[in-house]
């Protein structure tokens, strides 16, 4: 089972086929409560079935739609390796589920699109950043948040060690490499007589090729990239890198033996002040523009603007929701007091958040008590 990434979240936003089912529940990593997780899941599936029945869906169609989720009840391995929460998304011809590193309330939502607001804190005020853990012997790229970390596959043509970059075979490697004291376990390259300057050029060539792979993997991204490596490699990578946001602080020491969660534990304290400052800056900008056409707290206007790509920064209340219909032809919004259990039901704050992300804007999630106004949503517009 995968951890949810930002790209996967954007992919979920593209699902617009009703009925779109979103199921959330707390789960347990260990202990006797683990035995209750399948029972809780089965009860939530029954709730989904009742909801679909109320929408006049035929029993045979309901059974076919829910079959992938029902099959998980018999999957012992699935229930053995959960974390603190589960998010499951199911629609005609689409089925995905993700472990969550924090508990979520039990919730079933059936609508025109997926309900993703419970997982938005993974990618909003909890930060979004990358880690490049590299040495002369290996390189790994990760995507992280406050709670999660997942490895990103580098392009196939990216060398992940100096040997690959210089196309050195094993026999040459034995002659040209040796461990040096004080390098933190990182191998130091020695050539046939080029000295330190030649050695530096070879390493820079490797790092330049590695950076090209990182740029391809993170194309269009601007989130901070934290470097993890030994002291002498860090400035060399900064010198050759063309990534637009290499973070100033680094994780120092050989990263080769560090697990992903250990890298995440060291990375988050470095970037947390940046993200905290970021949301404070957005709220300050909102107050600055609050009485102009460049900002709004009116939900209908914000939802329409998000659809048209006008929202630069969006702040939503993670514990509030608006339901309604969005007319893609006219851009008009019709709000409900609660979900109407029809095929046009749309969680409007989710819709605004996903449209903002799809169009390159930034989304923040706060409790309603920390929102700068009584509205569950505010926005700063690009124009």
pLDDT for the residue 82 = 86
Rounded Cα distance, 91 and 113, in Å: 9
Conformation bin of residue 249: beta by default, left when phi > 0, alpha when psi is -120 to 50: beta
Mean pLDDT calculated for residue range 191-199? 61
Rounded Cα distance, 379 and 383, in Å: 12
Biggest CA-to-CA distance, the chain: 80
The answer on pLDDT for 287 being more than 90 is yes
Helices (H), the chain: 6-13, 37-54, 59-71, 76-80, 162-165, 170-176, 195-217, 234-240, 260-289, 299-307, 348-358
pLDDT for the residue 153 = 85
pLDDT digits (tens, 9 = 90+) for 76-128: 889 988 888 999 999 998 999 998 877 888 999 998 888 888 887 777 655 78
pLDDT digits (tens, 9 = 90+) for 49-64: 999 999 899 999 999 9
pLDDT for the residue 173 = 46
Q: Going from the N-terminus, what domains does the chain have, and what CATH number goes with each?
A: 2-122 (3.30.960.10), 129-272 (3.30.420), 290-381 (3.30.1330)
Tokens (6 digits) for 125: 């005020």
Q: What does DSSP assign to residue 32?
A: G
- The more confident residue out of 296 and 321 is 296
pLDDT for the residue 177 = 47
pLDDT digits (tens, 9 = 90+) for 122-165: 776 557 899 999 999 999 999 888 777 878 889 999 999 998 88
pLDDT for the residue 185 = 44
Rounded Cα distance, 42 and 38, in Å: 6
Average pLDDT, the chain: 86
Tokens (6 digits) for 322: 């608006």
Rounded Cα distance, 138 and 83, in Å: 29
Give the C-alpha distances (Å, rounded to integers) separating 68 from 48, 73, 92, 192, 321. Answer: 13, 10, 11, 60, 28
1 close to 78: Cβ distance less than 8 angstroms: yes
pLDDT for the residue 180 = 40
* Span of 7-16, 167-176, 285-294, 305-314 with lowest mean pLDDT: 167-176
The answer on pLDDT for 192 being more than 50 is no
Q: What does DSSP assign to residue 153?
A: P
Rounded Cα distance, 331 and 329, in Å: 6
pLDDT for the residue 9 = 85
* Nearest Cα to Cα of residue 234 among 243, 242, 244, 226: 226
pTM of the model: 0.62
β-strands 149-152, 139-144 pairing? antiparallel
Strand order in 323-326's β-sheet? Answer: 333-336, 323-326, 346-347
pLDDT digits (tens, 9 = 90+) for 351-361: 899 899 888 88
* Span of 174-183, 241-250, 300-309, 366-375 with lowest mean pLDDT: 174-183
Phi and psi at residue 82, to the nearest 5°: -90, 170
Q: Which residues pair with 133 in a beta bridge?
A: 140, 228
Rounded Cα distance, 128 and 126, in Å: 7
Rounded Cα distance, 143 and 141, in Å: 7
Let me know the angle formed at the C-alpha of 281 by 278 and 4, rounded to the nearest 5 degrees: 30
Q: Which residues pair with 366 in a beta bridge?
A: 317
CB atoms < 10 A from the CB of 320, how many?
14
Mean pLDDT calculated for residue range 331-349? 78
């Amino acid at each position: 089972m995968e951890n949810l990434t930002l790209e996967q979240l954007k992919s979920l936003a593209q699902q617009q086929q009703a009925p779109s089912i979103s199921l959330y529940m707390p789960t347990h990593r260990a202990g006797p409560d683990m035995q209750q997780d399948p029972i809780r899941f089965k009860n939530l599936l029954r709730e989904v079935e009742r909801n679909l029945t109320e929408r006049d869906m035929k029993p045979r169609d309901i059974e076919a739609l829910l079959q992938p989720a029902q099959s998980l009840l018999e999957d012992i391995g699935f229930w053995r390796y959960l974390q603190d929460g589960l998010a499951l998304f199911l629609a005609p011809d689409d089925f995905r589920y993700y472990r969550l590193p924090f508990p979520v309330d039990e919730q079933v939502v059936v609508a025109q699109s997926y309900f993703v607001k419970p997982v938005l804190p993974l990618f909003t005020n909890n930060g979004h950043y990358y880690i490049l853990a590299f040495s002369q012997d290996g390189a790994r790229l990760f995507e992280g948040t406050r709670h999660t970390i997942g490895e990103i596959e580098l392009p196939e043509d990216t060398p992940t060690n100096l040997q690959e970059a210089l196309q050195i075979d094993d026999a040459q490697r034995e002659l040209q490499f040796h461990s040096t004291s004080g390098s933190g376990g990182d191998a130091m390259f020695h050539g046939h007589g080029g000295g330190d300057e030649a050695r530096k050029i070879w390493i820079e060539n490797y790092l330049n090729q590695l950076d090209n792979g990182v740029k391809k993997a993170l194309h269009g991204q601007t989130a901070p990239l934290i470097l993890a490596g030994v002291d002498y490699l860090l400035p060399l990578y900064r010198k050759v890198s063309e990534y637009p946001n290499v973070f100033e602080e680094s994780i120092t020491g050989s990263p080769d033996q560090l697990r992903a969660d250990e890298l995440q534990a060291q990375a988050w304290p470095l970037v947390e002040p940046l993200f905290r400052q970021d949301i404070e800056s957005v709220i300050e900008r909102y107050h600055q523009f609050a009485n102009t056409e460049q900002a709004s707290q009116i939900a209908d206007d914000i939802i329409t603007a998000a659809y048209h790509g006008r929202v630069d920064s969006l702040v939503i209340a993670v514990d509030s929701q608006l339901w309604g219909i969005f007319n893609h032809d006219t851009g008009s919004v019709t709000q409900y007091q609660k979900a109407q259990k029809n095929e046009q039901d749309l969680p409007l704050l989710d819709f605004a958040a996903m449209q903002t992300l799809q169009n390159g804007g930034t989304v923040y999630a706060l409790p309603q008590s920390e929102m700068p106004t009584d509205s569950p949503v505010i926005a700063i517009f690009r124009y």
